[in-house]
Structure 1
Amino acid sequence: MSSTELPETRSAAASPASRIRTVRVADGEELRSVALPGLTLTVRARPGDRPGLPPALYVHGLGGSSLNWSTLMPLLADTVDGEAVDLPGFGDSPPPDDGNYSVTGHARAVIRLLDAGGRGPVHLFGNSLGGAVATRVAAVRPDLVRTLTLISPALPELRAQRGAWPTALLALPGIAPLFSRLTRDWTAEQRVRGV
C-alpha cells in the first residue's frame, strides 16, 4: 500500500459505464454517477445517520479526485451532509463532451450538479483548482452557496491590484537604487506616508 492510500479503502466500480476502471472507496462512502446533458459526474457521499443536516459539496484540486476529501468528510459528518464531486475528466468522471477544462467549464459543471440535485445552498469547499472553481460558482450563483471554504485556492485570474504596482516596479533592474537616491533625504514620517 502506498503512503497516499487510506488503509480502510476498497476498490469498487463507480458505474456500469466504468467497469474497466476501479475507484477507491473508503468505508462508509458510496459512489454514484450523475448523468447531465454533455457530461457525467461521479459523486462520492457519506450517508449520515442524522437527517436534516445542511448539505456540503467538496471540490478537489488539479490532478485530484473526490477521494482527496475522504479523510475530512467523516470529521464533518456530524455537521454537514457531505458529497464530493469528481470534476469532468478527473477521478472517475469522464471528460466533458465539449472538452472544456477551464475554471468556467468546471464551475458550470458544479452549478449543473447542484441545480440537478436541488441541494443548494451548500457549504462549498474547494482546494487548489477546486478553490478557483468554488469561487467562480459563488460569484456567478451566490444562491447556491451557503458558505465558502477555500483551502490553498489557485486563483490565477486575479489581476494585480493598483496599490501593488509600485512594489512590483522595485523588482525591475535599476529602480530600487533610483528610488533609494530619490528618497535619501526623506524623514521617518515621509517614509511611513510613502509606504
Structure 2
Amino acid sequence: MSSTELPSAPATANVLPKVATVRVAEGERLRSVGLPGITLTVRSRPPAREGLPPALYVHGLGGSSQNWSALMEQLEGDVDCEAVDLPGFGDSPPPDDGDYSITAHARAVIRYLDASGRGPVHLFGNSLGGAVTTRVAAVRPDLVRTLTLVSPALPEIRVQRTAVPTALLAVPGVTALFTRFTRGWTAEQRVRGVMHLCYGDPGRVTPEGFRNAVEEMERRQQLPYFWDAMTRSARGLVNAYTLGGQHALWRQAERVLAPTLLIYGGRDQLVGYRMCRRAARTFRDSRLLSLPDAGHVAMMEYPEVVARACRELLAEAEAGEPVAVGRGADGAGVRSAAAGEDEAVTENAGS
C-alpha cells in the first residue's frame, strides 16, 4: 500500500481550485492510498488522544468523505476517524476495471482495511455506503467491531416516488437524457435540488455550508467520469437488489455479527422510514435510533444527536454489555428522538 499526502483547498478559499484538489475542513487531512486496481482518497482527523479505537466512514451515492466531516469532529474524542472516498467519488479516481458494483465497493473497503491493518474498526455507512458496509460486515466479520448504518440502501419492495429518479439513473440512456435536459442548470440549482431531496429541513444548512457544497458541485462536474461513476454505481445498487441466495443484501444483514446501530429519518425521501422495523428485526444485535425530523443524511443534519447514539454503542462494545434501551417484542433496541432533544423517548419495536 502506497500513501501520499494530497494538496487541498483551504476551508476559506474564495477561488475554486483545480480539479485535483478538494475542500478540507480545519483539522482534517487527505491522503491518496494506492491499492491493487484502485486508488482511494482517505480523509482523517487526528484523534484527541493516543490509543483510541479506529473508525472508518463510507459515504452514499453521489457523496464523498466530506459527508462525514461533522460527525467525525463530534467523535474525535471517541474514535480515530478516517473516511474513504469510494472509487470514482470525491477525490478518488475510477477503478481500473470500471466495476462500480456493491461487491466492488465492498472489496475496495476490505482491501483498504486489510492493507492498513486498522481492523477491526467501528464501521459507518450511509445510503449506498450502508449497503456496502453491510456486505463488508457479513463477509469479513473480523474487520468490524461495530456497525452504524444511517439510512442504509437495503432493498425495498415499494420504492418511494421521490426515490424513483435516482433509481432511473441505472437505466441505459437515462443519464445522457438527464444531462441534456439539465445542461443549463447552475451548480446552485443542482445543490438546492440535492439538499431538498436529502435533508429533512434544508433550512438547517448554513450559508457557508451551501457555498462549500456549490464549490464541490462545480469541482465534480469538471471530472470527466462524474456521471459515469454515478450511473454505474446506481446500476450496481439496483443489481444488488435483485440478487438472491447468500448474496442477497437482507440475507447478508442476517449474518452480521457486530453490534449494529440503525439510524432512520422520518422525512427521508430516498429510503423508506418504514424499513427501519424490518432492519431492526433482521440485524441480530441491533438498536434503532428514529429521528422524525431528519432526512437521508442524519449525520449531516443532526451530528450531535447521532454522535450521542454512537457513543452509547461504543460504550456498549467496550463494556461488552447491552445498553439499557427499550426492547421490542423482536428483541431490537429502539429509540425515537426529536432531533433537538437531549433525551430520547423509548418506543416499542413491535408497535
Q: In the TM superposition, what is the alpha-carbon distance from 1:40 to its structure 2 partner?
A: 0.2
Offset at 1:22? Answer: 1.7
RMSD across aligned positions (CA): 2.0
TM-score by length of 2: 0.40
Over 3 Å counting, the alpha-carbon distance change for 1:57 and 1:10 in structure 2 is farther
Q: How far 1:98 sits from its partner (Å)? A: 0.8
Partners of 2:77 and 2:65 in 1: how far apart?
19
The match for 2:345 is: none
Percent identical residues: 76
- Matching residue of 1:89: 88
Q: Which residue number corresponds to residue 70 of structure 1?
A: 69
3-state SS in 1 of match to 2:135: helix
Q: Structure 1 residues 99, 27: CA separation in 2 closer, same or farther (over 3 Å shift)?
A: same
Q: Could you say what secondary structure the match of 2:23 adopts? A: strand
Q: What is residue 108 of structure 2 aligned with on the other side?
A: 109
The amino acid across from 1:52 in the alignment is G
Closer/same/farther in 2, CA of residues 22 and 160 from structure 1, 3 Å limit: closer
User: 1:160 and 1:148, CA in 2 relative to 1: closer, same or farther beyond 3 A?
Assistant: closer
Letter in 1 for 2:11: T
> Residue in 2 aligned with 1:119?
118
- Indicate how the Cα distance of structure 1 residues 48 and 139 shifts in structure 2: closer, same or farther if over 3 A, else same: same
Which consecutive unaligned segments of at least 5 residues does structure 2 have?
1-9, 156-240, 242-247, 252-351
Distance 1:159 1:80, change over 3 A: closer
Q: 1:159 to 1:114 in 2, by over 3 A?
A: closer
**What's 1:21 paired with?**
20
Structure 2 counterpart of 1:68, which letter? N
**What does 1:161-172 align with in structure 2 at a 5 Å threshold?**
none
Give yes or no for contact 1:10–1:25 (8 Å, CA) kept in 2.
no
In the alignment, which residue of structure 1 is the partner of 2:11?
A: 9
| 1:21-76, Cα deviation, whole Å (9 max, x unpaired) | 22010000000000001110000000123010000000000000000001110100
Name the aligned partner's letter for residue 154 of structure 1: A
Q: 1:51 maps to what in 2? A: 50
CA contact 1:124–1:146 (8 Å) conserved in 2: yes
Partner of 2:187: none
CA distance in 1, matches of 2:75, 2:37: 32
Whether the aligned pair in 1 keeps the contact of 2:154 and 2:250 (CA below 8 Å) is no
1:95 counterpart SS class: coil
Mapped partners of 1:10, 1:93: distance in 2: 23
- How far apart, CA to CA, are the structure 2 residues paired with 1:160 and 1:139? 10
Q: Which amino acid aligns with 1:26?
A: A
Tell me the residue number matched to 2:138.
Answer: 139
Distance 1:23 1:140, change over 3 A: same
Displaced runs of 4+ in structure 1, greater than 4 A?
A: 158-161
Gaps of 5+ in 1: 1-7, 12-18, 162-195
Once the 2 structures are TM-superposed, how far is the Cα of residue 119 of structure 1 from its aligned partner?
0.2
- Bigger CA radius of gyration: 1
Matched letter for residue 33 of structure 1: S
Is contact 1:10–1:26 with CA below 8 Å preserved after alignment? no
Q: Deviations over 1:54-103 (max 9, x none)?
A: 00000000000000001110100111001000000000000000111011
Question: Partners in 2 of 1:10 and 1:71 — Cα distance?
Answer: 17
Counterpart Cα distance in 2 of 1:160 and 1:39: 27
